Every structure is written in structure tokens, then in C-alpha cells.
Structure 1
């Protein structure tokens, strides 16, 4: 069991630094809205990951093949990200420079949780990623349910702890944030969301042999 935990922790650390829309929105949330808001957002992301891991565990390689043959799922998720990014971009364009910094209220935490959950959940690539991890890691754990639970629990915990440190570091930027800088950060985040949406859409139209996620995960594991 100790060996499984030791193998999972580096993967959880690397997962936390995988560049994507969630990575940047988490840092933005911490810098602008504070530690608690970012933690709630991150919990939403992790719940989506846990749901994906559960789906992956109770599915099989056939499901991975089926998802790979359904480019429409990538296009659908990409379009949602693209629309969301464009909305955020133009919403920032009409804001006034006199806007006061955003402060989270208790009622905002629910929306932040679902924002994190949905931002992760709409990316079908995340489900494919976890399916690939199950397929690669499962045999090394002898497909024992207990060892698999320990491995993924350790991986998610390492991911969360690393995110906490990222949140704390990003929070230090809050003192230096002016309304203009907040406006600029949100513009940049919107552009990243737009780019991520376009990338997903392009993946949906790529030939299957151009995007072999299983091989990529196997290379990362080695």
C-alpha cells in the first residue's frame, strides 16, 4: 500500500500543474476572490474528477474506444468553453474602471462550486484522461479495488494539497491588484478559455491516430 501511495503522489502533483482553463481560473479566483472562494471552486473541480474516476472504474477499454470515436463530444465541450470565454471577454469589455474589487459572499460559494464542477465536467478530455489512467495503472495494481481506491485517493489528495499551495501563493497577489489589473486578468482568462474551447473543437475534427491519449498517459507514467 505504501508503494501505491508513493507512486500516486507524483502523479497528483503533476496533475495539479497540467495547464488548462481550470488551472488559470483557480489562480484568478484565489487572487481576486480569496482563499475560501478558491478552495470551494477547487472542491467543485475535484468532485467532477471523482465522478469521472468512478465512471472510468466501472467502465472499460471499450468505453475509451467509443469516446475516441465520438468527436462530437469534444466539439460540444469546446463550443461551451468557447461561448463562455467569449461571454466573459465581452462582459469585461463593458465594465467601468471605477468597479470595486469583487468580494465573495456566502451565497457565492455555491455558484463557485458549480463553476468549478462544470468547468471540469464539460471537458470530455478529462474523462478520457482518467479512463486512460485506469487502463494503464489498473494492471499494475492487480485490478484490486482496495489498491485502486488507495491509489486514486492519494493522487487526488496530493492534487488538492498542491492546489492549496497554489491558492496561497496566488492570494499574495491580491494586495497588488488594482481594478485595472483585475480587468486585465479576467480578459486573459477569457482568452485562455476561448483558446481551450478552440483546441477541443479541433480535437473533435482530428483523425483518431493524431490524438492517442492512452500512449501519452503511458509515456507520462514512465
Structure 2
């Protein structure tokens, strides 16, 4: 369980800095309306992620069961990450100055955060690809997957709280050029991960069966 938590922490931190509409609305809301307003919006965003995560998990559960030890699993998951990475790399950044936070109650901001995230179908595709890729390493164990993804979301939310506190300073340093570089950097990382998984799916399984190789050495 400790290993699963340690593996989830960097991912949760990385997800918090995925540049998109929600990112800028969160900064805008926090800077103009204060900490509580930013937290309310962010809770809505997290709730949408939880809904997407549940949809992705239950829709891929049978797939995970059928392809648990099959190379097609790596190819399928790798293709999703590859396409998502290419999308991030080639998509042009929109001017953040055009994003404005509207006035509303804390409940209204929560609903707004939920809808902003929920209408982005790319988020569902991302969670689906992540579950398919991570599932086998967690032995498709529901308890381990719950611990892993709960940790991802908790770290994601904790990092967002820091962003909310530093909203005004962060907005000042996020120039258009830096936004483009961050997006392209994230895109390249996802593209590389996708290609590695696709290659792994086409290579013989024995090359990656490290445990079996260790056991063979012990019998020499």
C-alpha cells in the first residue's frame, strides 16, 4: 500500500498543473474572490474528476479482466496517452485574459467548477487511459486502485490549495510563452509514455517478465 501511495503522489502533483480552462478559472476566482471561493470551485472540479474516474473504472472493468495479461492492453492504453499527448502538444493556447470568473454563491461556484470540468470529454479519456495503464500494476485489485486514485486526488486537491493561496503571484508569472512551453512539455511526456507502452505491447511478454528471470537465476 505504501508503494502505491508513493507512486500516486507525483502523478497527483503533475495533474494539478495540467494547463486548461479550469486552471485559469481557478486562479481568477481565487485572486478576485478569495480563498473560500477558490476552494468551492475546486471541490466542484474534484467531484467531476471523481465522477469521470468512476465512469472510466466501471466501463473498463471488463476490459481489464479480459486483457489483464495481454499485450493489447498496453497498446490500447498507450494509444490513448499518445493521442492525448499529441493533442496537448499541437493545441494552441488560448489567452488567459479572456477567462473571467462570474459572481455567485459558494454553491454556485461549486456547480460551476463541476460543469467546467465535466464538459471536457478529454478528462474522461485521460482517466480511462490511466486506469488501463495502471490497473495491471495494481493487480486490478479494487482496494489498491482505490488507495492509488484516492491519493492522486488528495495530492491534486492539496496542490490546488497551494495554488489558490498563491493565485495572484502565479497569475503574474504565467506568461503566454510559458503556458505554451508547459503544455508542450506535458504533451511530450505523454507521447513518450504512450510510445513506450505501445512498443511494450508488441514485444514478447517474456522480455518484461522480470520476476521469472530472477527465479531462473536463483535455480542456476
Shorter-chain TM range is: 0.5 to 0.7
Q: Could you say what the CA RMSD is over the residues aligned between the two structures, in angstroms? A: 3.8
Unaligned residue ranges in structure 1 (runs of 5+): 69-84, 93-101, 177-187, 193-210
Q: Deviations over 1:83-126 (max 9, x none)?
A: xx9xx95x98xxxxxxxxx997xx61111011100000000000
Secondary structure (helix, strand or coil) at the match of 2:59 reads coil
**What TM-score do you get using the length of structure 1 for normalisation?**
0.60
Q: Give the Cα–Cα distance (whole angstroms) in 2 for the partners of residues 134 and 11 of structure 1.
A: 13
Pairing 1:147–2:144 present: yes
In the TM superposition, structure 1's runs of 4+ consecutive aligned residues that sit over 6 Å from their partners are 211-214
Pairing 1:215–2:194 present: yes
Q: Deviations over 1:168-208 (max 9, x none)?
A: 0115689x9xxxxxxxxxxx9xxx9xxxxxxxxxxxxxxxx
- Offset, 1:8: 0.3
Q: Give the Cα–Cα distance (whole angstroms) in 1 for the partners of residues 29 and 147 of structure 2.
A: 30
- Offset, 1:215: 2.0
**What TM-score do you get using the length of structure 2 for normalisation?**
0.60
What is aligned with 1:163?
Answer: 160
Q: Give the Cα–Cα distance (whole angstroms) in 2 for the partners of residues 150 and 164 of structure 1.
A: 21
- The equivalent position to 1:123 in structure 2, one of 109, 120, 123, is 120
User: Would the alpha carbon gap of residues 172 and 214 (structure 1) be closer, same or farther in structure 2, given more than 3 Å must change?
Assistant: closer
What is aligned with 2:130?
Answer: 133
Q: How does 1:191-202 map to 2 (within 5 A)?
A: none
Judge conservation of contact 1:45–1:117 (CA < 8 Å) in 2.
yes
- Offset, 1:214: 8.3
Secondary structure (helix, strand or coil) at the match of 2:140 reads coil
Judge conservation of contact 2:163–2:170 (CA < 8 Å) in 1.
no
Q: Look at both structures and tell me which one has the larger radius of gyration over its CA atoms.
A: 2
